[in-house]
Amino acid sequence: MNIGISAIKIAPTKHVISLGDDCRVFVIGDLDGDLLALKSALKNVDFNSQSDALFCLGDTIDRGDKSYELFEYLKAINAYMVLGNHEHLMLESLLSNDKAAFKLWTDNGGNWHKAVPQNLLLSMCDELLKKPLSIVLEYKGHKIGLSHTIPQQWNWECSSDIEDKSVIVESLLWDRKVFNSKKIINNHGINFSIHGHNSTQLPFWIGDSYHIDTNYLGGKPTLLELSDVINKFEMQ
């Protein structure tokens, strides 16, 4: 990763969230600015923002032209989200004037921002900086790690103790070693984890990490009901 962290360094490394067993919890992979795909997926499960919870795994923006509208919709339905590498590029481009980030961003779907007023973009950046790089979700007796991606060795209990924020950003927003090697060495402190970032036609497990970024290669985002994933994980 050759992108700076001047802006994103103030984003929280981890949030711990506990939800009751009676809550329906959904996790969705990379959305890539596709608001219609999100709405379609939620409609298929009769999602109710008053009683259900939605977690987004980063890269909600870019490629699609509704990135800003999608972000506003996620706010309206009280969705949780972690940051992805595309949010990182946006933050460094707009807040740090990082030229390398801006080129990579606009070369990879970031040109939607030209149609959005600057004040709205900066407000969006302020909101993004409140989002964590990872979430540990306590639900139905399990601890589930949620982040955009994952390195081969990660301790969810101690990740906030790492002093070098660039290591955390690289590990949770950019790393592809698990996906490329199909091997995870140590995913410590949780029962299992779920991630986007690495495009695949179908979701699949690598050890105790589940990879669900199907939007680009599979044609639509994967939306999981977490209780189903827990049941399948316990049966492995």
The mean pLDDT of 93-99, rounded to a whole number, is 97
- What is the tens place of the pLDDT at every residue in 29-50? 999 999 999 999 999 999 999 9
pLDDT given for residue 2 in this prediction: 81
Which pLDDT does position 158 carry in this prediction?
A: 79
Residue 30 lies in a domain: yes
- 5 occurs within a structural domain: no
At which residue do the structure tokens 């499960």 appear? Answer: 45
Reported confidence tier of residue 191, pLDDT bands at 50, 70, 90 = very high
Instruction: Cite the beta strand spans of the chain per DSSP E.
Output: 15-18, 24-28, 52-56, 80-81, 134-139, 142-147, 153-155, 186-188, 192-199, 204-206, 209-213, 223-225
Contacts of 160 (CB under 8 A, 6+ apart): 13, 14
User: Residue 57: which domain range?
Assistant: 19-235
pLDDT the model gives residue 1: 65
Tokens of 130: 């409140």
- Is the residue at 12 inside a domain? no
Q: What percent of the chain has pLDDT over 70?
A: 97
In a domain, 219, yes or no: yes
pLDDT above 80 for 91: yes
Q: If you average pLDDT over residues 97-116, what whole number do you get?
A: 97
- The answer to whether position 182 is within a domain reads yes
For tokens 């709405």, name the residue: 39
Residue 161 has pLDDT above 90, yes or no: no
Q: Name 56's bridge partners.
A: 28, 81
| Partner residues linked to 28 by β-bridges | 56, 223
Query: Which one-letter DSSP state was computed for residue 190?
Result: S
Instruction: Assess if residue 101 is contained within a domain.
Output: yes
Mean pLDDT of the chain: 95
Residue 6 has pLDDT above 70, yes or no: yes
Mean predicted confidence (pLDDT) in 42-59:
98
> Which residues, 6 or more positions from 117, have their beta carbon under 8 angstroms from its beta carbon?
none
Specify whether the CB–CB gap between 169 and 5 falls below 8 A: yes
Helix (H, G, I), strand (E, B) or coil at 180: helix
Helix (H, G, I), strand (E, B) or coil at 126: helix
Please determine, for residue 19, whether its predicted confidence score (pLDDT) is greater than 90: yes
The answer to whether residue 14 is domain-embedded is no
CATH number for the domain spanning 104: value is 3.60.21.10
Handedness of CA 89, 102, 153, 231 (dihedral sign): positive
Q: pLDDT digit string (tens) for 111-154?
A: 999 999 999 999 999 999 999 999 999 999 999 999 999 999 99
pLDDT higher than 70, residue 160? no
Q: How far apart are CA 138 and CA 144, in angstroms?
A: 7
Q: Is residue 2 part of a domain?
A: no
What phi, psi does 193 have (nearest 5°)? -135, 160
- As for how many domains the chain has, the answer is 1
